[in-house]
Structure formats: structure tokens, C-alpha cells
Amino acid sequence: MVKETERVHKPILGICRGQQVINVAFGGSLYQDIQSQLGNSTKHEQYPTSWEIPTHYINTVAHSWLNDLLGDRFAVNSFHHQAVHKLATGLTVIATSDDGIIEGIQSNDGQVIGVQFHPEMMIHSYPTFRKIFAYFAKLVETVE
């Protein structure tokens, strides 16, 4: 579905597993278990912490869509044990956590975007995360 949607030039927003699926669909790979494969990384699986509570910071790439919306560095929630390992051809990293885990991606044409965190779970406590969905809605509106 990801490749077909991309082929017909429709925007895609992947959240958490969605970002991982995008990367694999484009030919990339995943860390199957961050803690066992990377050892001293940030604890990215924060259960039983509430979904709306930020648990670590991410850093965005200057002039990326995520940087333009939310700034250079901000706190996010984290509920995953897998993550992008080898980035697929055709995708660009736009955000990472302090331990180097990829937290945001986009396709070279900017129509396919993804984040590893869950902005939909944070919008009630942190309304600024609504900007991600507004940005995606604008991408959808610009498609013929």
C-alpha cells in the first residue's frame, strides 16, 4: 500500500510503526529490539507512562518540515522497541533522538513523511503537535 500510494503521488503520514513500515516498504531495515541491539540507548519503550507525557528529546534537521513546525529540539513521548536501522533509498532523516535513533523521515519529494513518536496522543496536553496534522492536511490538499 505504501509503494502504491507513493507511486500515484499521494501523501502519506506514518506514525510510530507507520514510519517503520514506510522505511521497510522503500527498502530499508529496522532494529528489531533497540535495547538488545544498541545497549545503552535511551529507553524508548516507556510503558506504563501515560501517552501524553514527553519522555525524551529529539533534534530536527534545519529547514525540514518538522523543524519549521516545531523547532530545533523538543520533547516527545516514546512507546516503541523497534526503530529505523538502515534508511531506505529515497528517504531523508529529519529528526533523531540524542542516542541517534531516527525520529523523523521524509521522502525526497516531501510527500511521504513519518515520525517515530505519537503526536496524536500529545495534542490535548501539547496543542502545538496539531501542526503536524495541519501540515499533512495541506499536503493532501495540494494533490491533484
Is the full-model pTM beyond 0.85?
A: yes
pLDDT tens digits, one per residue of 79-107: 767 888 999 999 999 999 998 999 999 99
| Residues designated as active site | 16, 118, 120
pLDDT tens digits, one per residue of 28-79: 999 867 676 666 665 555 556 665 777 789 999 999 999 999 999 999 998 7
- Give, in words, the CATH class of 10-141: alpha beta
DSSP bridge partners of 76: 56
> Which pLDDT belongs to residue 90?
96
Buried-state track 42-73, b at ≥16 Cβ within 10 A, e below 16: bebebeeeeeeebbbebebbeebbbbebbeee
> Which pLDDT belongs to residue 50?
63
SS3 assignment, position 10: coil
C-alpha cell at 102: 531516527
SS3 assignment, position 70: helix
> Which pLDDT belongs to residue 41?
61
